[in-house]
Chain A
Amino acid sequence: GEDVEQSLFLSVREGDSSVINCTYTDSSSTYLYWYKQEPGAGLQLLTYIFSNMDMKQDQRLTVLLNKKDKHLSLRIADTQTGDSAIYFCAENSGGYNKLIFGAGTRLAVHP
């Protein structure tokens, strides 16, 4: 079935790296996504990775994909207070880009 799981909470010190983990179930997903949701705001795409890639780097963001274990991670380098938000992992399910989301990981950045 379709299921995406994430840890619910992560607390880091400003300047440290954050690593948010996710497991998914649909091995046919062609893309996997990380969305960010700030308080009172909608979801914004942060980054994505194509399923035939192992890694993608985009400035402070690094996405790692382990297809064998169906494990996805998002690393944020030099985490800032502005990175405090909820981060959602999502897989696209089936052929119609229906995204299935995890419950979200709340990232808290403290001084």
Chain B
Amino acid sequence: DTGVSQDPRHKITKRGQNVTFRCDPISEHNRLYWYRQTLGQGPEFLTYFQNEAQLEKSRLLSDRFSAERPKGSFSTLEIQRTEQGDSAMYLCASSYLAGGTGELFFGEGSRLTVL
């Protein structure tokens, strides 16, 4: 399977702990996106990378959130000092820059539950 993969699929943590999610995009895709989806809502844009450069961050991404894509391949999203309001599904998507329809290919998500 050469789709977008995310790890872990589920994470339960206590408030105040740090968590890290990993995303492996489709190998030839140079753009990588993080979205957050809460119950009953559509995905909300958090940030995206073109290769290793982080080009845009949403206002939703507080100082407790940091994302990296050090070698332009996989990406990590870290949440420090988690709060109950961080409970959500964190979705990663990738796309190819040149031409095409701009379609984003999504992983199955990492569900975070903060107790």
A interface with B by C-beta (< 8 Å): 4, 30-31, 33, 35, 41-45, 48, 50, 88, 90, 92, 96-104
B interface with A by C-beta (< 8 Å): 4, 31, 33, 35, 40-45, 48, 50, 55-56, 91, 93, 95, 101-109
Considering the chains assembled together, what is the distance between the CA atoms of A50 and B48 in angstroms? Answer: 23
Q: Is the CB of A96 within 8 A of B41?
A: no
A99 touching B104 in the complex, CB below 8 Å, given contacts A43-B43, A104-B42: yes
Q: Is the CB of A30 within 8 A of B102?
A: yes
Q: Is the CB of B31 within 8 A of A97?
A: yes
Q: Is the CB of B33 within 8 A of A98?
A: yes
Considering the chains assembled together, what is the distance between the CA atoms of A96 and B54 in angstroms? Answer: 12
Q: Is the CB of A102 within 8 A of B42?
A: yes
Residues from chain A with Cβ under 8 Å of B91 in the complex = 42-43
The 10 closest A-B pairs by CB, nearest first: A101-B42, A97-B102, A42-B108, A42-B106, A43-B106, A103-B42, A101-B43, A92-B102, A104-B42, A45-B103
Q: Is the CB of A100 within 8 A of B45?
A: yes
Tell me the smallest distance from the CB of B11 to a CB of chain A, in Å: 16
A-B CB contact pairs (8 Å), 11 listed: A31-B102, A41-B108, A42-B107, A43-B91, A50-B101, A88-B42, A88-B43, A96-B31, A96-B48, A97-B102, A97-B104
Known pairs A45-B103, A98-B48 / 14 extra A-B pairs, C-beta < 8 Å: A41-B108, A42-B106, A43-B43, A43-B91, A43-B93, A43-B106, A45-B105, A48-B103, A96-B50, A97-B31, A98-B56, A99-B102, A101-B42, A103-B42
Considering the chains assembled together, what is the distance between the CA atoms of A15 and B20 in angstroms? Answer: 45
Residues from chain B with Cβ under 8 Å of A43 in the complex = 43, 91, 93, 104, 106
Residues from chain B with Cβ under 8 Å of A35 in the complex = 106
Residues from chain B with Cβ under 8 Å of A101 in the complex = 35, 42-44
Residues from chain A with Cβ under 8 Å of B45 in the complex = 98-100
Nearest-CB residue, chain B, relative to A90:
B42
Q: Is the CB of A97 within 8 A of B95?
A: yes
